[in-house]
Amino acid sequence: MIKKVKNALAGSATEYHSDLLDPKVIPRGEHGISREGISDNALKVLYRLNSAGFDAYLVGGCVRDLIVGLQPKDFDVVTNATPDEVKSLFKNCRLIGRRFRLAHVVFGREIIEVATFRGHHQNSPDEKKKSPKEALGKQNQEGQILRDNVFGSIEEDAERRDFTINAMYYRVTDFTVTDFANGMQAIKNKRIELIGDPETRYREDPVRMIRAVRFAAKLNMQISESSAQAIHELGSLLSNIPPARLFEEVIKLFASGQGLSTFKLMQEFDLMQPLFPQLSPLLKDPKSRENQFIERVLINTDNRINTGLRVTPAFMYAAFLWYPIEEHTQKLMDEAGLNHFDAFNIAINDVLHRQIQRIMIPKRFSTTMREIWQLQLRLPKRFGRRAYQMLEHPRFRAAYDFLLLRGQVEGGALLELADWWTEFQEVSAEQRKNMLVKLREAEGGSARRPRRRRSSTKKPASS
């Protein structure tokens, strides 16, 4: 069993020891990082901070990715300058965050995030005798960090990093990398390992559990035994994370090009339950239609991302909640005697409401999700002008893709319907007319036709 909470929180709120660090300075010729792979805007930030007399480094994922040969999606800078001092150097800077105070230096669509070296928190047994550090840093009784604006040295900052592979600092003044926690060796060993005690680090920030899974899938690495064991026992702590923060984290999980492998690891570590409690019970059987559908959606998403095509989180979330909606619809029909249409719309509202208690889905995405779901009921209705009107619907393509994936999993009439729409999009206008005629004939003329009015002549009144 993992140690009790009180042991994890004994002493200082975030207790570290210098023996966790073994800093090594790696010269330019041994780490393989070139300025050609670094964003010009990130270099501008580094140079200006250095020119103003501050220390500044690239840190974290961008350094790790450059070392393993990947192109970073963003570049993070860390410095001994405070957020206010950073803001004074850059007119295009804005300060954000309450839990973590950060500076964002904005260059058009690119944002360079600048953080000040983090320091260690201190707890005082007497609440009235709080030091300035304690006022800037706060943890709850379970050890989760609620406020983290305690600044410190680069050594303290390195100890505060989550994983050993993320505690590497690139310095542009001499092109060296300072590796504080044997991150280079962890990369060679293909191991994801936390800095410090796994229970304490996960309790500080439960999101580290899904970050461990994401890095393992992205970098094709294994999570170390001690770091993995703690995930199994502490996964429920993810329910303490604000829903708005989890939305962004889940997008990183499943929309980074390794969605399928990430999904399988999330199931292995039982982390789907705290994120998608309505879906999780439906995933227990690996061969279930729910599992097959999610896997097909993620394969499709991975292919699009890895070929440079755009994806929308709305499609992914719509897929994750589709079968919970179907299940709840049937329950409402059986228990309340509702017709399918009414039960379906109530189920959409109920399932969405429950989900946003865990993951806050912005309205711009939930609106698209609703349209994708509702169009699943309209796609079978193809007579008259309906088929042509459907093609003009702004969400038709997303709804069709959704239907096609459902058909590939469920087969039968659903797959026939998806195949019909596939052909209807590709053929000529004349062939579309023929398809609709054949469809009407196949239905036995059951489609309603407008009735002609009969001209009636009034008989003259009898005299």
Q: What pLDDT digit, counting tens, does each position of 278-291 carry? A: 999 999 999 999 99
Is residue 136 scored above 70 in pLDDT?
A: no
Choice among 65, 148, 157, 162 that is catalytic: 162
What is the pLDDT, as a whole number, of residue 166? 95
Choice among 74, 270, 350, 401 that is catalytic: 74
Q: Which residue has the tokens 């992205």?
A: 218
Is residue 224 scored above 50 in pLDDT?
A: yes
410-439: average pLDDT: 95
Higher local confidence (pLDDT), 84 or 124: 84
pTM of the model: 0.82
Structure tokens at 305: 């991302």
Tell which residue, 279, 304, 286, has the closest CA to residue 401. 304
Active site residue 74: yes
| Dihedral sign of CA atoms 24, 28, 32, 33 in order | positive
Taking the mean position of all CA atoms in its chain, how far away is CA 1? 30
CATH code of the domain occupying 10-195: 3.30.460.10
Percent of the chain having pLDDT more than 70?
85
What is the pLDDT, as a whole number, of residue 7? 36
Structure tokens at 78: 């860390």
Distance CA 137, CA 155 (A): 18
Structure tokens at 438: 């054949």
344-350: average pLDDT: 98
251-257: average pLDDT: 92
CATH code of the domain occupying 313-442: 1.10.3090.10
What is the pLDDT, as a whole number, of residue 441? 87
What is the pLDDT, as a whole number, of residue 142? 54
Domain segments of the chain as ranges: 10-195, 313-442
Structure tokens at 223: 């999570």
Choice among 65, 76, 148, 302 that is catalytic: 76
What is the pLDDT, as a whole number, of residue 150? 78
Active site residue 162: yes
226-231: average pLDDT: 95
Q: Which residues of 387-407 are buried (b: 16+ CB within 10 A; e: fewer)?
A: beebeeeebbebbbebbbbbb
Contacts of 140 (CB under 8 A, 6+ apart): 146
Active site residue 350: no
Taking the mean position of all CA atoms in its chain, how far away is CA 462? 82
- Chain segment 178-214, per-residue pLDDT in tens: 999 999 999 999 999 999 999 999 999 999 999 999 9
